[in-house]
Structure 1
Amino acid sequence: MIIQFIITIFLCVVASYYDIKKGIIPDKISIFLISFGIVSNMILSLLSGNLKHILASILSLSLTYLVCYLLWRLKVWGGGDVKLLTGIAAIIPFASIPFLNVFPELSIYPFSFSVILNAILISFPFLFMMIFYLNMKNMIFNRNTELLFNLINYKNFLFFIKSNFNRFIPVKDLEEGMIVNEYYFNDKQIIDLINDSKGNLKVYRLNDDSNYSYYFKSISAGGLTEKDMFLLKIMNSQNIISDYISIKLGFPFAPFITIGLLTAIFLGDIIMVISKNMVLVV
């Protein structure tokens, strides 16, 4: 049990480093967490003669993946975050921490859900600080005061992210997991190359009166696959596309997952803590 917690915390810290440094969470980390979770809980079930460990691990893993996958489809976060949270769910399905001398506020849902909720709540102050920094840097809200007051609106928030979380990089520097913004073109050869690759890039037709007929972009928050990355680099080397391409700057969420994990272990579910304190006050 102690080994499970130590390994989970250590690998989440490593995942956070990669997410901050490179903007991606290596699949090897998440795959190891998921595999280790299933194997370690199977061993615990065999040693204790109780199937609850492995059954809880599989149930927690499945529920967490389903919820996180839906959030991924809504473009709330990237595929790396989904896999990392699924790995945590596989290793730590229960919310009981027997080896600690603290008694965290537990929840009625899987432990991984407490990690998710903690991570989201903890990330809010940092997100607002980032918004404030971008405004000071780019004077966004000075040009559009309505956006500031309506930022809580989902469409306005997406507009803000799309407008300010982008940068141009050389095609040769593309890495797996990067999210490509709209790249406009007229060359029909690009359509065939992207459609044949069957990756995470998709071509769309423009119906307006612009100078371009088509554009392609990443389909989901999962970003570029290895095949996509090499295809774009080959097209660039053959002068089919330009030397620079626009990518979305992802908000590194792995550090908040790690903090959410530590908070859940030593303090518990923040929602439950707040709810209990509100009840006591009332």
Structure 2
Amino acid sequence: MWVDFVPVVFALVGSCVAVFTDLRERIIPNRLTYPLIVVGIGFHLVVGFYRGEFVLAFFGVFGAGLAFSLGYFMYLTGGWAGGDVKLFTAFGALLPAYESPHVVSPLVAYPLFPITILINSVLAAIPVLLIYVLVSRLKGFGIFYETKKISELEEGIIPAEIIYQKNEEIERYDAGPLGFLSRKLSAPDWDEKLTDPDRAAGVTDENIEKLKQLVDEGKLEDRIKTKKGMPFGPALAAGLFIGVFYGSLYWKFMLFLI
């Protein structure tokens, strides 16, 4: 039925808008992703209950949850920004399950299509990532991190180190290459944490004002290590388009081997 293509249209159009904003402004806005998530969950609830298919009714919820879990893991590794996670969650809510016209995964009847989108996205991004790494190395830039002045911080930027207060002293903690794992296993104690690398929304205006005040008081050096966000929105969009119009690159590869 034509109604089944409604979430497909929303996902494809939304991905195009996300690519535009990600490349132009280096951000995927909440005013795009949140409505897409609501539409995806709401669509499956309405259609599922209307058709009496109560499992289908909760496909949107499951797809969004699966996509968010996978996306948040990618975020913790430092590869994704918060907007990428929310865009991927929107794709999961809209298209938890989808039967592609060419290469179809054997799990097509289950709400696991976000996995296909993610794998397609990663494979599509590999050539671009390799070029990016090479150019960054040749120019002497960091690949995933950069150092900014605290006075230049903007809301939403994701810190790569913890700045905290302990016994009225301001300290820094950089988890190093192990990132999230080190922060959970060996992070120091603090009275107040001023920056949090694991907060998907990044620093708040309140955080920034407090950090700037500490800089003005001479208690904190005017620098902060931040995550260098790569625009992964185009790769996610590519993974979506490949999945919708072609299918799973992973299963194509597996069929080739067989």
Structure-1-length-normalised TM-score: 0.68
Q: 1:58 aligns with which of 61, 73, 79?
A: 61
* Corresponding residue of 2:177: none
Unaligned runs of 5+ in 1: 141-162, 193-203, 206-214
Unaligned runs of 5+ in 2: 172-186
CA deviation after TM superposition for structure 1 residue 268, in Å:
0.5
Q: Distance in 1 between matches of 2:30 and 2:170?
A: 29
CA deviation after TM superposition for structure 1 residue 222, in Å:
2.4
CA deviation vs aligned residue, 1:55-99 (integer Å, no higher than 9, x gap): 2222222233233333433444333322221111111111125xx
**Within 5 A, what are the aligned runs for 1:184-199?**
189=168, 191=170
Q: 1:115 aligns with which of 117, 120, 139?
A: 117
RMSD of the TM alignment (CA)?
3.5
CA contact (8 A) 2:103 2:251 kept: no
* Corresponding residue of 1:106: 105
* Corresponding residue of 2:133: 131
Change (3 A) 1:220 1:238: same
Q: Which moved more, 1:76-85 or 1:33-42?
A: 76-85
Structure-2-length-normalised TM-score: 0.74
CA deviation after TM superposition for structure 1 residue 185, in Å:
9.9
CA deviation after TM superposition for structure 1 residue 183, in Å:
8.2
Percent identity over paired residues: 22
CA deviation vs aligned residue, 1:216-245 (integer Å, no higher than 9, x gap): 754327262323234334545666545554
Q: Distance in 2 between matches of 1:75 and 1:134?
A: 16
Change (3 A) 1:8 1:236: farther
* Corresponding residue of 2:202: 224
* Corresponding residue of 2:254: 275
Q: Distance in 2 between matches of 1:267 and 1:261?
A: 10
> Of the two, which has the highest radius of gyration?
1
Within the alignment, does 1:252 sit opposite 2:251 as a pair? no
Q: Distance in 1 between matches of 2:94 and 2:202?
A: 28
Within the alignment, does 1:171 sit opposite 2:150 as a pair? yes
- Equivalent residue pairs, number: 235
